């Protein structure tokens, strides 16, 4: 193999090395899930835009058939995960920390799994616009968890496309299994994304704790003979050191290219873009095989009898997945996402959506409850662990004191909430909670200020308008009075003339 | 409950404090060996007073008692105070010193994490100003009779001429005041060993070993010890090179008095030191330079404590002016 162009990787500050807990779930191939009795498909499954329902209760739908049309430029379509009947369109609790409800289409499967036939695009010859439109129509969003609409992201000219297979969160192995089992599709998707965004090189970055995935991706690269192309156009698989949050977009870009994406800037401003391996896989399924996004791979792990990865239809209840994996009795809560950035599910009734990469059954033994919070001793461990190079303890003091201006000065909005600071804190301070609180307060204050400014502007304009109307009225009256006076004067002056006559 | 749902194992404030106490053990062992077991009595008194004072004031402030009392911070303060005072000071002096440290310097400012001044150094400075005579009576090395030391600690009559000896810093200071040359002072006096105070060199060495342990365990970072040693050592070296007979060598300075205790256990106090990497360096460099200035030109033989308190005042300013740039703020780096 040719010498790596990334022999020299860069380094991001801080980070942590938590116990990886990957082996619990990465040893078994991806398994299918039996068709559930019903599927609850939320209309909003993206961080930026939603969909507008185009079916009514009673409609028969086919697998992959569009049931929610992309709304607006950033919207992404949603599709029937299987063939069946639309039973209901109503509000259901979602996989969200607050358990908020959102509009969803409920589908009762007919068990036939008949696919809807889309008109096939030939990815080799179709126009760039058509391909991007098809990505949007296929409902593809970032599968790493951020669920940003892929058609927006790919519509940027870049030099380097980084395929993110880092999977740095402990316990999660869905990307690992995907790369091991479907490397060719992942690679095809990445090539398509690279072509659409004009990337000159594609770097597949995988944490070095996944040797099988690295080998599988390398084998796929060799098989496709992509590496025989011009050196600068090849795809390269680059193992990166296992260190959380290696898979964070900005951290990975730094490690692979040395570029630091500044706050308020986008990766594309620097000619770089990251896509998750799952997203690349979905792009391949959509553009090459004509399959809309109807399922995803979900790691089910933690305190379960049969941990592993499952190919899950979107809209499957989390509870169904947990039952399949066999939850052990001392489980006291369910986590959605990884243990570093995931959240406690208010209810296991919530459906799996496009961003649900991992479901963890948590027990007090596996995930001990946080010991009581102690005062900060300014030891600085948090600052040494922060990948954004913030001073979390300063942010903590200012957030706690509700000194939000200061928190802003110390760059609180650069915080990516990765949780490294809270992980290392010897005083067990839930630092991320403090930062979320401060950020939401600051946003609310900002909104309030804006509203107050608008109100003041409205009031001032109203006063101005009243003044103006008054002035206009006065002017009108004055004009009228002048007119009358003039008329009277004219009348008077004409009277004497009239007299002699 | 919100993220993260996992934490580093065996990680607590207690663990940090326990490491500091363990790191003090080599120094204390050398102390007992060279100067006598009296120091153990003072350590015990200081510990008991510190815990009692901590509990009482937490109760007064209506704060949870158990979690703070067991965090180990009061014991660390107590040990540092006991080690900073001469080991034969009467019990009541140790008691007052600990009360000044725990109540005055720590809790009146809001308790652990909130105090601007290093409690141990605040206590030391208060004592040396209030009781200069008792604070200058250091036990002579080699005269380790425990019964005598115990009686002094318990308040016995202080007929102490045979028991105390001038410390290396004292002897040097006295000699220099008489315009003797450094080389002559070192040659004539029994107070000196190979490079510092006779016998005390072992204790200083013990502190340094403990400090290296803390560095290895990542309880402290290299910034403050190195900067403090540089501040004291380089300033001393500059003058020593120019006038070796008027100014003792950097090695002498580093091996005498509280230099090593200061370098690894005092300027490294996270609460009262600056906290940014550059800030830590500026802070400890300042302490080292002030320590040399006080030792050389001041009225007190030792200056580390005054250096610490003076630099403590500057910490908020130092931290504000040395904030490191955050991710993406630097010049764009490209391969």
Q: Are residues A268 and A352 in the same domain?
A: no
Residue B215 CB neighbour total at 10 angstroms: 17
Q: Are residues A286 and A150 in the same domain?
A: yes
Q: Residue A142, class by beta-carbon neighbours within 10 Å (0-12 exposed, 13-18 middle, 19+ buried)?
A: buried
Report domain extents, chain B. 11-165
Of A406, A411, A404, the closest CA to residue A444 belongs to A404
Provide CB contacts within 8 A for A452, sequence distance 6+: none
Provide CB contacts within 8 A for B62, sequence distance 6+: none
Q: Are residues A187 and A329 in the same domain?
A: no
Provide the chain A residues 162-191 that lie in CB contact (below 8 A) with chain B. Answer: 170
Question: Which chain A residues touch B16 with a CB distance below 8 Å?
Answer: 377, 379, 426
Quick one: average pLDDT of A288-294? 94
Residue A500 pLDDT level (bands cut at 50, 70, 90): very low
Residue A391 pLDDT level (bands cut at 50, 70, 90): very high
Q: Are residues A234 and A343 in the same domain?
A: no
Of B211, B252, B213, the closest CA to residue B232 belongs to B252
Check CB contact under 8 Å for A263 and B326: yes
The mean pLDDT value of chain A amounts to 91
DSSP for B178-238, written as a single string: TT--HHHHHHH-SSB-SSSBTTHHHHHHHHHHHHHHHHHTTSS-SHHHHHHHHHHHHHHHH
Check CB contact under 8 Å for A343 and B6: no
Residue A1 lies in a domain: no
Quick one: average pLDDT of A421-438? 95
C-alpha distances in Å from residue B228, one per residue of A142, B180, B222, B317: 51, 28, 10, 19
Is the model more confident about A291 or about A501?
Answer: A291
Closest partner CB to B2 (pick from A343, A390, A424): A343
Residue A9 lies in a domain: no
d(CA A210, CA A26): 10
Q: Are residues A386 and A481 in the same domain?
A: yes
In B, minimum Cα distance to A97 occurs at: B2
Give the domain extent around A345: 299-362
Reported as a single tens digit per residue, the pLDDT across A203-257 is: 999 999 999 999 999 999 988 765 455 444 578 999 999 999 999 999 999 999 9
In A, minimum Cα distance to B64 occurs at: A374
Provide CB contacts within 8 A for A451, sequence distance 6+: none
Partners of residue A160 on adjacent β-strands: A201, A272
d(CA A426, CA A377): 9
d(CA A296, CA A312): 5
Closest partner CB to B6 (pick from A339, A376, A425): A339
Residue A174 lies in a domain: yes
Q: How far does B189 lie from chain A, in Å, by closest CA? A: 43
d(CA A387, CA B324): 13
On the CB side of A22, CA atoms within 13 Å amount to 21
Contact between A221 and A237 (Cβ < 8 Å):
yes
Provide CB contacts within 8 A for B10, sequence distance 6+: none
Q: How far does B258 lie from chain A, in Å, by closest CA? A: 23
**What pLDDT is recorded for position A228?**
52
Residue A217 lies in a domain: yes
Q: Are residues A249 and A339 in the same domain?
A: no
Q: Residue A267, class by beta-carbon neighbours within 10 Å (0-12 exposed, 13-18 middle, 19+ buried)?
A: buried
Check CB contact under 8 Å for B4 and A419: yes
DSSP for B49-68, written as a single string: HHHHHHHHHHHHTT--HHHH
Check CB contact under 8 Å for A343 and B275: no
Is the pLDDT at A300 greater than 60? The verdict is yes
**What pLDDT is recorded for position B184?**
86
Three-state secondary structure call for residue A150? helix
Q: Residue B136, class by beta-carbon neighbours within 10 Å (0-12 exposed, 13-18 middle, 19+ buried)?
A: middle
C-alpha distances in Å from residue A251, one per residue of A82, A166, A259, A275, B74: 38, 11, 9, 14, 40
Q: What is the pTM of this model?
A: 0.88
Check CB contact under 8 Å for B111 and A375: yes
CATH number at residue A423: 1.10.1060
Residue A327 has what DSSP assignment? B
**What pLDDT is recorded for position A497?**
52
Q: Are residues A320 and A400 in the same domain?
A: no
Q: Residue B10, class by beta-carbon neighbours within 10 Å (0-12 exposed, 13-18 middle, 19+ buried)?
A: exposed
**What pLDDT is recorded for position A124?**
85
Check CB contact under 8 Å for A411 and B332: no
**What pLDDT is recorded for position A496?**
55
Joined together, the tokens standing for residue A91 give 């509000």
DSSP for B144-185, written as a single string: --HHHHHHHHTT-----TTTB---HHHHHHHHHHTT--HHHH
Residue A408 lies in a domain: yes
**Dihedral sign, CA of B107, A421, B265, B43?**
positive
Of B230, B16, B206, the closest CA to residue A375 belongs to B16
Helix (H) / strand (E) containing A162: strand A160-165
Of A249, A283, A298, which marks where a domain is finished?
A298
Is the model more confident about A47 or about A324?
Answer: A324
Q: Are residues A305 and A168 in the same domain?
A: no
Size of interface A-B (CB pairs under 8 A): 142
Helix (H) / strand (E) containing A51: strand A51-53
Query: What ipTM was assigned to the predicted interfaces of this complex?
Result: 0.90
A436 touches chain B (CB under 8 A): yes
Q: How many domains does chain A have?
A: 3
Joined together, the tokens standing for residue B65 give 């008692």
Is the model more confident about A99 or about A460?
Answer: A460
Three-state secondary structure call for residue A404? helix
In B, minimum Cα distance to A12 occurs at: B327
Mean pLDDT by 10 residues, chain B (335 residues): 88 95 97 92 97 96 91 96 94 97 95 94 96 89 82 79 76 87 82 82 95 96 97 97 93 93 97 96 98 93 94 96 89 46
Q: How far does B86 lie from chain A, in Å, by closest CA? A: 29
**What pLDDT is recorded for position A72?**
86
Joined together, the tokens standing for residue A269 give 């401003």
Q: How far does A191 lie from chain B, in Å, by closest CA? A: 24
Of A298, A316, A332, which marks where a domain is finished?
A298
**What pLDDT is recorded for position A2?**
45
Residue A206 lies in a domain: yes
Is the pLDDT at A481 greater than 60? The verdict is yes
Residue A246 has what DSSP assignment? T
Strand segments (E) across A65-124: 66-70, 78-79, 84-93, 101-109
* Binding-site residues on chain B for chain A (CB distance < 8 A): 1-8, 11-13, 15-16, 67-68, 71, 73, 111-114, 221, 270-271, 275-276, 319, 323-330, 332-335
Name the percent of chain A in helix, strand, coil, to the closest 5: 40, 20, 45
Quick one: average pLDDT of A364-383? 93
Exposure class string for B294-328: b at 16+ Cβ within 10 A, else e: bbbeeebbbbbbbbbbebbeebeebbeebbeebbb
d(CA A384, CA A176): 29
Residue A498 lies in a domain: no
d(CA A498, CA A492): 10
A27 touches chain B (CB under 8 A): no
Q: What interhelical angle do A277-289 and A128-137 show, nearest 10?
A: 110
Residue A12 lies in a domain: no
**What pLDDT is recorded for position A231?**
42
Three-state secondary structure call for residue A352? coil
Q: How far does A258 lie from chain B, in Å, by closest CA? A: 5
DSSP for A166-210, written as a single string: ---STT--HHHHHHHH-HHHHHHHHHHHHHHTT-SEEEEEEETT-
Residue A146 pLDDT level (bands cut at 50, 70, 90): confident
Of A269, A265, A256, the closest CA to residue A158 belongs to A269
Partners of residue A310 on adjacent β-strands: A31, A298
Joined together, the tokens standing for residue B313 give 């005042």
Quick one: average pLDDT of A387-410? 93
Check CB contact under 8 Å for A432 and B275: no
Provide the chain A residues 242-301 that lie in CB contact (below 8 A) with chain B. Answer: 250, 254, 257-263, 265, 270
Check CB contact under 8 Å for B113 and A378: yes
Name which of B4, B58, B221, B278 to mutate to probe chain A: the one with the most chain A Cβ atoms within 10 A of its Cβ.
B4
Q: Are residues A307 and A282 in the same domain?
A: no
How many helices (DSSP H) and strands (DSSP E) are in chain B? 16, 0
Of B232, B241, B214, B220, the closest CA to residue B295 belongs to B232
- Please give the torsion angle defined by the CA atoms of residues B129, B132, B136 and B137, in that order, rounded to the nearest 10 degrees: -130
Q: Are residues A412 and A275 in the same domain?
A: no
Q: Are residues A56 and A118 in the same domain?
A: yes
In B, minimum Cα distance to A14 occurs at: B327
Check CB contact under 8 Å for A410 and B333: no
Quick one: average pLDDT of A13-39? 95
DSSP for A14-35, written as a single string: --B------HHHHSS--EE-PP
Q: Are residues A247 and A356 in the same domain?
A: no
Check CB contact under 8 Å for B5 and A410: no
Check CB contact under 8 Å for B1 and A370: yes
């Amino acid at each position: 193999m040719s010498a790596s162009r990334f022999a020299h990787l860069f380094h991001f500050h801080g980070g942590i090395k938590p116990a990886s807990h990957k082996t619990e779930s990465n040893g078994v191939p991806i398994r299918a899930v039996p068709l559930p009795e019903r599927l609850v498909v939320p209309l909003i499954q993206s961080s930026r835009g939603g969909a507008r329902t185009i079916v009514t209760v009673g409609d028969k739908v086919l697998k992959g058939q569009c049931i929610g049309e992309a709304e607006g430029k950033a919207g992404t379509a949603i599709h029937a995960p299987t063939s069946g009947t639309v039973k209901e369109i109503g509000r259901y609790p979602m996989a969200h920390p607050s358990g908020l409800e959102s509009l969803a289409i409920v589908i009762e499967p007919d068990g036939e799994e008949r696919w809807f036939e889309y008109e096939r695009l030939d990815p080799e010859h179709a126009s760039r616009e058509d391909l991007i439109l098809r990505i949007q129509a296929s409902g593809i969003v970032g599968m790493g968890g951020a669920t940003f609409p892929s058609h927006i992201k790919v519509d940027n000219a870049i030099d380097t496309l980084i395929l993110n297979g880092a999977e740095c969160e402990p316990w999660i192995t869905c990307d690992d299994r995907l790369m091991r089992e479907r490397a060719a599709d992942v690679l095809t998707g990445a090539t398509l994304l690279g072509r659409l965004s004009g990337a000159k090189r594609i770097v597949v970055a995988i944490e070095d704790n996944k040797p099988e995935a690295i080998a599988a991706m390398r084998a796929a690269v060799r098989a496709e003979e992509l590496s025989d192309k011009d050196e600068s156009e090849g795809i390269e698989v680059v193992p990166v050191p296992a260190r959380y949050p290696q898979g964070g977009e900005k951290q990975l870009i730094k490690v692979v290219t040395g570029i630091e994406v500044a706050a308020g800037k986008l990766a594309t401003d620097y000619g770089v873009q990251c896509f998750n391996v799952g997203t690349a896989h979905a792009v391949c399924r959509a553009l090459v095989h004509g399959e809309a996004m109807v399922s995803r791979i979900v790691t089910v792990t933690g305190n379960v009898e049969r941990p592993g990865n499952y190919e899950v239809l979107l809209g499957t209840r989390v509870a169904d997945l947990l039952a399949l994996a066999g939850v052990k009795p001392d489980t006291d809560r369910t986590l959605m996402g990884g243990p570093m950035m995931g959240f406690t599910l208010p209810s296991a009734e919530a459906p799996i959506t496009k961003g649900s990469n991992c479901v963890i059954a948590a027990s007090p033994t596996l995930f001990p409850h946080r010991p009581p919070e102690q005062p900060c001793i300014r030891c600085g461990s948090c600052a040494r662990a922060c990948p954004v190079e913030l001073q979390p303890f300063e942010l903590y003091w200012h957030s706690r004191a509700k000194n939000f201006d200061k928190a802003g000065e110390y760059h609180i909005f650069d915080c990516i909430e990765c949780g490294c600071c809270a992980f290392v804190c010897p005083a067990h301070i839930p630092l991320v909670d403090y930062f979320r609180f401060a950020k939401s307060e600051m946003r609310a204050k900002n909104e309030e200020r804006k509203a107050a400014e608008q109100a003041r502007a409205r009031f001032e304009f109203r006063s101005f308008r009243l003044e103006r109307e008054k002035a206009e009225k006065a002017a009108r009256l004055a004009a009228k009075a002048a007119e009358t006076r003039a008329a009277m004067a004219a009348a008077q002056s004409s009277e004497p003339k009239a007299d002699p006559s | 409950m919100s993220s993260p749902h996992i934490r580093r194992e065996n990680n607590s404030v207690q663990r940090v404090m326990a490491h500091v106490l363990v790191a003090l053990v080599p120094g204390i062992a050398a102390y007992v060996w060279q100067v006598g077991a009296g120091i153990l009595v003072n350590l015990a008194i200081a510990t008991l007073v510190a815990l009692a004072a901590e509990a009482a004031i937490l109760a007064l402030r209506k704060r949870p008692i158990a979690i703070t009392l067991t965090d180990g911070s009061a014991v660390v303060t107590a040990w540092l105070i006991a080690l900073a005072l001469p080991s034969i000071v009467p019990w009541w002096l140790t008691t007052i010193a600990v009360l000044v440290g725990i109540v005055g310097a720590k809790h009146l400012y809001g308790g652990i994490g909130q105090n601007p001044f290093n409690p141990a150094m605040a206590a030391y400075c208060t004592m040396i100003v209030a009781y200069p005579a008792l604070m200058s009576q250091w036990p002579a090395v080699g005269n380790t009779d425990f019964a005598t030391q115990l009686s002094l600690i318990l308040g016995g009559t202080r007929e102490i001429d045979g028991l105390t000896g001038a410390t290396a810093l004292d002897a040097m200071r006295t000699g220099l005041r008489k315009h003797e040359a450094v080389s002559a002072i070192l040659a004539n006096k029994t107070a000196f060993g190979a490079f510092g105070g006779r016998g005390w060199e072992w204790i200083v060495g013990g502190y340094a070993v403990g400090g290296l342990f803390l560095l290895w365990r990542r309880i402290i970072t290299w910034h403050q010890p190195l900067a403090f040693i540089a501040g004291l050592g380089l300033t001393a070296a500059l003058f020593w090179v120019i006038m070796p007979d008027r100014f003792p060598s950097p090695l002498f300075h580093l091996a005498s008095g509280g230099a090593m205790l200061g370098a690894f256990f005092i300027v490294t106090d996270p609460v009262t030191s600056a906290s940014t990497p550059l800030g830590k360096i500026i802070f400890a460099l300042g302490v080292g330079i002030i320590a040399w200035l006080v030792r050389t030109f001041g009225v007190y033989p030792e200056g580390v404590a005054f250096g610490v308190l003076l630099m403590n005042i500057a910490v908020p300013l130092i931290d504000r002016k040395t904030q490191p740039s955050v991710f993406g703020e630097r010049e764009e780096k490209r391969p």
